[in-house]
């Protein structure tokens, strides 16, 4: 358990430091689109690869042929992300209608974005911790997949907060506070794993469903917004590269 604690702690800490990339947005905004374009493609491949190459095979192997429950949990993870995102979109629309009523000139969209990001980061912390409980290699692959996803995600969050009325400094600061909820996900999951060792085989398929949803519903549509042939080829190569990174991590197990 000691090795699990330190492996998970430093991995989650790394992911929690991703908001520092907000400085890249602030000081090198002209390069942001190129960075996001590249990392979104990588993240799609990494998230699909981690879910389908690392997470689910380990869970199904443990299930020893009884795959109905794990499969159901994957679907549950997908549906929970759908409902959460739909709920946040509804609040987004409602907030935009009343944004002129805000006394501090901060649009409600900014606060909703922070809440959404905090929940997302909490799940990331729990997922990384549960992945390290399976093996160091699975934990490492999951950390890489989450990191690749967090790079464009955190840059986008800073942009949303600035659009909502936050100063650049406050946007980076609050985004960083939101990222720290990943540490709470780590602490809670680690504490529960010390009591219920089989918990990982519930958390991991749920997280796999989250990853599949994020890649398919959030990231792939972003890639389809640009139909230029050259960039489409680069996107395809980025997706394949993301999958290959996950396959390489599997070969190291």
- Residue 14 pLDDT: 87
- Residue 61 pLDDT: 86
- Residue 102 pLDDT: 47
Closest CA to 4 of 192, 249, 181, 149: 192
Express each pLDDT in 30-61 by its tens digit.
555 666 677 788 888 988 998 998 889 888 98
Range of the domain at 186: 2-25+32-99+108-251
Is 173 buried (19+), middle (13-18) or exposed (0-12) by CB count in 10 A?
middle
CB 130 within 8 A of CB 207: yes
**pLDDT interval class at 253 (50, 70, 90):** low
φ and ψ at residue 26, rounded to 5 degrees = -70, -45
User: Cβ atoms within 10 A of the Cβ of 90, count?
Assistant: 10
**pLDDT interval class at 199 (50, 70, 90):** confident
CB 180 within 8 A of CB 16: yes
**pLDDT interval class at 100 (50, 70, 90):** very low
User: Which one of 60-69, 102-111, 203-212, 217-226 scores highest in mean pLDDT?
Assistant: 203-212
Query: Cα angle at 118 between 33 and 96, to 5 degrees?
Result: 70
Please check the confidence at residue 176 and state whether its pLDDT lies above 80: yes
pTM: 0.75
**pLDDT interval class at 23 (50, 70, 90):** low
Structure tokens given for 87: 């709920």
Domain count, the chain: 1
- If you average pLDDT over every residue of the chain, what do you get? 81
């Amino acid at each position: 358990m000691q090795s699990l604690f330190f492996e998970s702690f430093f991995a989650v800490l790394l992911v929690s430091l991703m908001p520092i990339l907000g400085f890249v947005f602030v000081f090198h905004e002209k390069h942001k689109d190129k960075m996001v374009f590249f990392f979104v493609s990588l993240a799609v491949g990494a998230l699909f690869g981690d879910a389908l190459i690392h997470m689910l095979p380990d869970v199904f192997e443990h299930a020893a042929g009884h795959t109905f429950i794990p499969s159901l949990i994957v679907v549950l993870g997908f549906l929970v992300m759908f409902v959460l995102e739909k709920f946040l979109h509804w609040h987004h629309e409602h907030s935009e209608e009343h944004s002129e009523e805000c006394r501090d000139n901060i649009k409600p969209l900014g606060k909703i974005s922070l809440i959404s990001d905090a929940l997302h980061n909490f799940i990331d912390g729990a997922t990384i911790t549960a992945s390290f409980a399976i093996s160091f290699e699975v934990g490492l692959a999951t950390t890489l997949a989450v990191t690749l996803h967090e790079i464009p995600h955190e840059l986008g969050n800073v942009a949303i907060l600035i659009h909502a009325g936050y100063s650049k400094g406050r946007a980076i600061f609050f985004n960083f506070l939101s990222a720290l909820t990943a540490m709470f996900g780590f602490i809670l999951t680690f504490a529960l794993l010390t009591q219920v060792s089989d918990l990982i085989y519930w958390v991991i398929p749920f997280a796999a469903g989250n990853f599949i949803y994020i890649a398919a519903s959030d990231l792939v549509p972003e890639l389809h917004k640009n139909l230029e042939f050259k960039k489409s080829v680069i996107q395809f190569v980025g997706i394949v590269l993301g999958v290959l990174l996950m396959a390489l991590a599997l070969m190291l197990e």
